[in-house]
Chains A and B, each alone.
Chain A
Amino acid sequence: MFRFAGLWRPRRFHAPIAKIDLGLWYRYYRAIPATIGPRAPPMNQHAPSLALEIRGLAKRFNQPAVDGLDLSVRAGEFYTLLGPNGAGKTTTLRMVMGLLRPDRGSITVFGIDALTDAVEAKHLTAWLSDEPMIYDKLTPMEYLEFVAGLWSVESNTAAARARELIEWLGLETQAHDRCEGLSRGMRQKVALAGALLHEPRLIILDEPFTGLDAGSTRLVRSVLRERVRAGCSVIMTTHILEVAERMADRIGVMVAGRLLAEGSLDDLRRQAGAGHANLEDTFLALLETGAAERTVAA
């Protein structure tokens, strides 16, 4: 239960204060007024300042997909990873989540080495891909029960949390229908509910808005913003530059497995060199610059 309430942390994050009076913390937590969507867990004061640290990450398929990538995401930061198709964004995130093994490099999630201590790191993370990872023959509620089992969330807490998420995502009428009959957008919502059920501290999203209608997109944006405000970290890839422009604290632009540029929108504008009004112009200008540099280097 306390893990669900955000008071439990894996061994390296056990805050002494949480051990002293868990009940007080839990009551305090319950007293936080709900804003939009489910509440985010209160953050540990002693948590490392970096949510994710990647050093020298490399992965090669037929050609290098990720090529010596260095990337840092701060705790409580909304970081958006942009890049053309085949830039290595998804490969990078899949390596962070332990879905792909890197050829070399290191990945640290809140100070935990995600390559040697993957299970511990996964307690803190959630993964949502563009393809909803759900089972056709289970209902949304059964799916959430299964996810709660995988993350060892206490059953009563998980049930309450699942009801809350289902309601919040507008899936009440489909809660007991098998997922095979749901539309793609609804399936994506179910997967999102699964990702948020265990109160992750680092949410990794790969094209999360694929298949969502305008209202749902706004809903998801709102909850992600709330999560970040409460101290969670979010890393997201998207091709919808407007979303990145509105939401991201920092933006990384990946090309050919490397980080071409990084920073806030203003930083990127400066790096792009000319007076570009929006992210789309800036992004395209950066890509052109990068392509020209690679041609010269070749």
Chain B
Amino acid sequence: MNRAGTIVWFAHHEGRLAWRDWLSLMSGRRRSRCRVALGVIAIALVLHGFAYLVLHRYEDLSRPPDQRMLVVVTGMFALYGSLMLSQAMERVTRAFYGRGDLDLILSSPVAAWRLFAVRIGAIAVTTAVMSLALAASFINVLSWFGGLGWLAAYGVISAAAMVAVAVAVTFTAVLFRTIGPKLTRLCAQIVAAVIGASFAIGVQFGAILSYGTPSRVVLLQSEALTRYAPDSRSILWWPARAILGDLLALAVVFSISAATLAATICIFAPRLAQFALATGGVAQRSTRQGRRARPFRGTSPTRALRRKEWTLLQRDPWLTSQTLMQLLYLLPPAFLLWRGFYDGSASSALLVPILIIAAGQLAGSLAWLAISGEDAPDLIASAPVTNVCVVRAKTEAVMGVIAIIFGPFILALAVVAPISAFITVLGVASAAASATSIQFWFRTQAKRSHFRRRQNSSLVATFAEALSSFSWAGAGALAPANTWLAVIQGLLAFAIVAGAWFISPARSTARSSGGPQQDRTKRGDIFQAG
């Protein structure tokens, strides 16, 4: 047993909590550990299959690195690194603002800096593990095609995670000092989302401007970029060289990253306790909405529910930013559409699937907020309102936002390509309806502040939501070219949604009770006999 209050003791405590958290996330309530292991293996196989499909067309991955390969690898690494930095910033902010056990630890006589040192380290480990989990399939397939040297990418990604966390901690601390705890959270979250999207979007813009396609790889492989890139001996390529198996470069990159993280911990861990205390007072401050009383608006239960959803969404800038940041990815397609007005290109067809996927993803997020993120479920359930009325109101609230956001895109598309616009309307409506339905069937009561963890509540729902969006997008992409293939793809999307219903808790509850009722736990369930 380690001595209480030491860094090792805190690390053991944090590690135990993280392990149990992960296990409960993976196992849910009913699944056995064996099924969890089988599920993880199945997902790994699918990811490796996907990586194989992507990489098998690239020839000669084992050749000595040339300028072009360095550019491509560095570009891809930068893309991935920007996502890691975004994730690290989000985790660091959450560590400061989520109270959890902070009150207990800060009120105890142990040195709080040790806890924060451990937490910064834990964030680095988590970021590395999550990034490696996603990248592992690609690294493994690359090492299969191109030699074992590619396995060094594991080390480079771990090093990148350390740097990302160091930058995130430093940036958050600077924000605390400059704009105060109240605005830091919002600002850091927005910056995190923008960083996560900016590099990818920037490369897409470049590709559209240069080659008229949103494909990032086309730009990274271009002759022009290769020609203007620094010389291959530049230190800019060291991470790429490390990825490609240069052990000296790997040692240097890893050492510098580890030193950066260690320095950040030494500098900022003692200060973070003060920041955490400062965040505690943020919730105590109230926001005034207006001084004068206005008359109540005459309303029906449906309208009241709808208006409430919109008001809550509008008043929570953090949630709004988290939700609407997905729309940043619509900027390149919008740019492509704008270019289409002038050059009369057929690129508008590319927009259809992009808009459908975006609508499905956004509808899923909004539906989670409206359905699972209901802050007063007992109030709604104890009101004289039928379940149908509640479902209708919440669906209308989601669809209203989707219509407002995607309406202008579709109108603009209608000017360029009316048929594509019509297909987009159908696709957006289908994808949004599918995502909303899946959220209804798999609803799990949670706080709205847990929005970022919504995917964790049900992996099946998350996959079903994504797959249905992609399938509807596929149907939308195929529709202008071949109607029958589009119909088949549409049927596939419908089958995915039907399959989600078939295995959803809502169906089993309805079957056992003979009605659309929920009854799961003592405190968290909602029973409506409407």
Chain A residues in contact with chain B, CB under 8 A?
61, 65, 91, 97-101, 115-116, 118-123, 125-127, 129, 133-139, 141-142, 145-152, 154-156, 158-159, 162-163, 174-178, 180-182, 194
Contact = CB atoms under 8 A, between A and B. Distances in A.
B295 interface: yes
Contact of A181 (B285, B293, B296, B386): B285
Interface in B199-240: none
B308 A146 contact: yes
B527 A99 contact: yes
25 contacts: A98-B381, A99-B378, A115-B529, A119-B384, A122-B383, A127-B382, A134-B379, A135-B376, A136-B375, A145-B297, A147-B379, A148-B304, A149-B300, A150-B380, A158-B296, A159-B295, A159-B296, A176-B293, A177-B286, A177-B288, A178-B315, A180-B287, A181-B283, A181-B286, A182-B286
B312 A98 contact: no
Contact of A133 (B379, B519, B522): B379
A135 B298 contact: no
Contacts of A119: 384-386, 529-530
Contacts of B298: 154-155
B479 to A, nearest CB: 40
Contacts of A181: 283-287
A141 B293 contact: yes
A149 B303 contact: yes
B460 interface: no
Interface string B20-39: 00000000000000000000
Contacts of A139: 289
Contacts of A151: 301, 383-384
Interface of B: 283-291, 293, 295-301, 303-305, 307-308, 311-312, 315-316, 375-386, 513, 517, 519, 521-522, 525-530
Contacts, number: 147
A138 B312 contact: yes
Nearest to B521: A61
B301 A135 contact: no
Nearest to A95: B527
A98 B382 contact: yes
A116 B528 CA distance: 10
Contacts of B312: 135, 137-138
Nearest to A161: B296
A98 B529 contact: yes
B389 to A, nearest CB: 9
A174 B286 CA distance: 9
Nearest to A144: B296
Given A176-B289, A181-B283, 11 more contacts: A115-B529, A116-B529, A127-B378, A133-B378, A137-B311, A137-B312, A137-B315, A149-B307, A150-B304, A155-B298, A163-B293
Contacts of A127: 378-379, 382
Contact of B286 (A61, A123, A129, A178): A178
A83 B144 CA distance: 67
Contacts of B315: 137-138, 178
Contacts of A174: 286
Contacts of A175: 293
A194 B513 contact: no
A84 to B, nearest CB: 16
A180 B284 CA distance: 7
B526 A150 contact: no
B393 to A, nearest CB: 10
A123 B376 CA distance: 18
Contacts of B293: 141, 159, 163, 175-176
A150 B527 contact: no
Given A115-B529, A122-B383, A122-B384, A145 B296 contact: yes
A46 to B, nearest CB: 21
A20 to B, nearest CB: 26
B270 to A, nearest CB: 30
Contacts of B285: 181
Nearest to B303: A149
A136 to B, nearest CB: 7
Contacts of A99: 378, 381-382, 525-527
A147 to B, nearest CB: 7
Q: Which of B285, B384, B517, B519: most chain A Cβ within 10 A?
A: B384
A118 B530 contact: yes
Nearest to B513: A101
A141 B289 CA distance: 10
A150 B301 contact: yes
Nearest to A137: B315
Nearest to B449: A136
B288 A176 contact: yes
A121 B298 CA distance: 23
A194 B376 CA distance: 12
A194 B379 contact: yes
A149 B384 contact: no
